[in-house]
């Protein structure tokens, strides 16, 4: 009987440990689907991407807890990606990739996609439509 209980206890502990080690669920943030602007975290803890969900325009946002000179915002793309299409809150959203400096921007209405590259240096950023 002790062997059965020990085996059962060992099995439950093993399954629990395995489940915890294989699940890599990122933290969830409250996102208002009616919001015009959303912040998307990067893998660099000091940087976010601010997205206009109506037009697809984006800005790099860097904050600092110690030095105001390390806080800045600059445009990743200055032009609207609508090309005469309808403005709708939530139309555009960002998806992270395995490369920490790249995201995929998706137009959730017509399916167009772009590769977005961010950097702490404005000259190293870019956005390219994926055809």
Q: Are 38 and 50 in contact (CB under 8 A)?
A: yes
> Taking the model in full, what pTM does it have?
0.74
Token pair in block for residue 100: 């920490």
Helix (H, G, I), strand (E, B) or coil at 113: strand
CB count in 10 Å sphere of residue 81: 20
Summarised one tens digit per residue, pLDDT across range 6-56 is 666 666 566 665 555 444 545 556 678 789 999 999 999 899 999 999 999
Instruction: Report CA 12 to chain centroid distance, whole Å.
Output: 35
Q: Where are the domains of the chain?
A: 35-130
Maximum CA pair distance of the chain? 74
CB count in 10 Å sphere of residue 89: 15
């Amino acid at each position: 009987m002790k062997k059965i209980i020990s085996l059962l206890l060992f099995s439950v502990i093993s399954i629990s440990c395995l489940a915890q080690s294989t699940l890599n669920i990122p933290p969830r943030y409250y996102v208002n689907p009616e919001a015009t602007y959303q912040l998307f975290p990067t893998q660099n803890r000091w940087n976010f991407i601010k997205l206009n969900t109506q037009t697809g325009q984006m800005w790099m946002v860097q904050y600092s807890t110690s030095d105001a000179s390390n806080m800045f915002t600059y445009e990743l793309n200055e032009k609207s990606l609508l090309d005469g299409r309808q403005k709708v809150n939530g139309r555009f959203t960002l998806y992270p990739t395995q490369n920490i400096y790249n995201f995929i921007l998706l137009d959730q209405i017509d399916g167009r996609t772009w590769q977005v590259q961010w950097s702490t240096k404005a000259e190293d950023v870019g956005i390219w439509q994926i055809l």
